[in-house]
Chains A and B, each alone.
Chain A
Amino acid sequence: MPIEMSSRRSRITDEEINELISKLQSLLPESRRRSTSRASASKLLKETCSYIRSLHREVDDLSDRLSDLMSTMDSNSPQAEIIRSILRS
């Protein structure tokens, strides 16, 4: 006997999914410019993927800059001492 969707209570409601989709949309950078009408599913997914990739690039760039900055840092520098003292607390 096939079980119809409507006749079975699933643990996750449509409401919860819609809320999740809204939240995701509000995180994306372009969403602030866009009108309130809902984007298509594939567009939302595409922009999410795009956003995640740009965040990865941002972190990679920051890692470059931190590595650069720390190249002149040795265990005797004031910065290393600051780090050590923060870790002790």
Chain B
Amino acid sequence: MQVAEAFKHAFLKQMLLGFQASVVSPKSMGFQERKSAIKLSADVAMAVARGTRKWTRGLIAGLSKEHQNRSFLQLILGEQYERLMKPCHSSWKIPRCKKIVRRSLRVCCRRKKKKNQVGVLARTLVAKRTQELKILVPGGESMDGFSLLDETLDYVVSLRAQADLMQSLLTTIEASKLRSHSKGTLPERKASYVGN
């Protein structure tokens, strides 16, 4: 499963906006501060590129809870910030959903003669792991059953893409640095652009 091309473009563009904000910023940043800004840019880029999902809203909401993030968020999101911060109208409730998923997941377990004991253990494990997952997926605490699985799938695909795109950015910048060092001093390079 792959993200769309549009996602990749939106991610990279948003990421670069974040870079610009952290590099061109009036104050010079130390390593940790710059790293935090990059990480923040990457998460915002991923959420913006993906669009409206429960986890993207959860992610942005979580990020903006930290005071130190807010001004940076407003800077890199611009007018999108207000829109993204609007409270989400909760989607339709699925009262039976929990039961359906539990029943379906239970089918996965091996059937034994001591069915009751296995059943209880399996249910406890599933409940424990589900709780863990709710913490890992942004906005997960308010999700249940089908919703949680659906959002998890989407989130994992997006995370994979985030890592891949950051790697390709890294590679590109490294390569361009290598080229600019080998081609000589900066003024000479600028002169060659002017002619275009």
Contact = CB atoms under 8 A, between A and B. Distances in A.
B16 A51 contact: no
A55 B163 contact: yes
B194 to A, nearest CB: 13
A27 B163 contact: no
A62 B173 contact: no
Contacts of B110: 40
A41 B110 CA distance: 10
Contacts of A45: 126, 129-130, 132-133
B126 A70 contact: no
A83 to B, nearest CB: 5
A73 B170 CA distance: 13
Interface of B (DSSP majority class): helix
B162 A59 contact: yes
A79 B94 contact: no
Contacts of B13: 86-87
A52 B136 contact: yes
A14 B100 contact: yes
Nearest to B121: A42
Q: A24, A68, A78 — which one has the most chain B CB atoms within 10 A of its CB?
A: A78
Interface of B: 1, 13, 16-17, 19-20, 22-24, 31, 34-35, 38-39, 42, 94, 96-97, 99-101, 103-106, 108-110, 122, 125-126, 128-130, 132-133, 136-137, 146, 149-150, 152-153, 155-157, 159-160, 162-163, 166-167, 169-170, 173-174, 176-177, 180, 186, 189
